[in-house]
């Protein structure tokens, strides 16, 4: 996992069995960033977290604040987007407070977010090549550059 370690993600080996070789150019180009990759999970990852699939989605966020929180914890952190499913993503503290009210114990104000779409989710298909599972921020670029056939 030297590539992952070079991005400051030594915890990747705690969660994934291996890095499929077709992911390497995607990791190099899009991490940190809006790309979630589906990996085979290690036995340490709870089946509840994998949805009993044996796989886990991993994203290295481009948010410096979020990466520092993860790094300081010393272990992988699981999180969702700051929105209620099906609703528009919260772009600032006021949006979070309006959406969640008192259901949130603490908010770290990292400033205004410019995120309008979720991350692109990519998995390995039965043919052994990456394919887009959920279009997101970089999906059109994948099509244009034919990075994911």
Q: Global pTM?
A: 0.80
**Encoding tokens for residue 71?**
């790094």
Q: Residue 3 phi/psi, 5° resolution?
A: -60, -45
pLDDT digits (tens, 9 = 90+) for 10-60: 668 888 999 999 998 999 899 989 999 999 999 999 999 999 999 999 998
pLDDT single digits (tens) 83-129: 777 777 788 999 989 988 998 888 889 888 877 778 899 999 888 89
CA distances (Å), origin 117, targets 15, 69, 88, 103, 134? 25, 23, 9, 24, 11
Q: What residues have CB less than 8 Å from 86, skipping those under 6 apart?
A: none
Q: What residues does 35 pair with on adjacent strands?
A: 120
69 or 1, greater pLDDT: 69
Return the higher-pLDDT residue of 145 and 80. Answer: 80
Cα gap 69→74, rounded to integer Å: 9
Alpha-carbon separation of residue 147 from 37, 60, 118, 126, 130 (angstroms): 14, 19, 19, 17, 9
Average confidence (pLDDT) over 144-148: 47
> For residues 76 and 14, is the Cβ–Cβ distance under 8 A?
yes
Please report the pLDDT score of residue 3 as a whole number: 46
What gap in Å lies between CA 86 and CA 24, rounded to an integer?
A: 32
Q: What is the reported pLDDT for 144?
A: 46
Would you give the DSSP letter of residue 41?
Answer: B
């Amino acid at each position: 996992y030297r590539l992952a370690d070079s991005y400051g993600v030594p915890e990747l080996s705690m969660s994934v069995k291996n890095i499929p070789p077709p992911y390497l150019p995607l990791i190099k180009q899009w991490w940190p960033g809006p790309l979630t990759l589906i990996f085979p999970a290690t036995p340490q990852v709870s089946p509840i977290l994998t949805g009993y699939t044996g796989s886990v989605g991993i994203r290295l966020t481009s948010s410096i604040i979020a990466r520092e929180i993860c790094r300081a914890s010393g272990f992988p952190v699981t999180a969702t987007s700051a929105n209620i499913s099906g609703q528009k993503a919260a772009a600032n503290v006021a949006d979070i407070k309006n959406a969640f009210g008192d259901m949130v114990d603490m908010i770290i104000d990292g400033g205004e977010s410019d995120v309008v779409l979720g991350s692109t989710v990519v998995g390995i298909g039965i043919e052994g090549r990456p394919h887009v599972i959920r279009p997101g921020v970089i999906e059109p670029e994948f099509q244009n550059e034919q990075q994911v056939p």
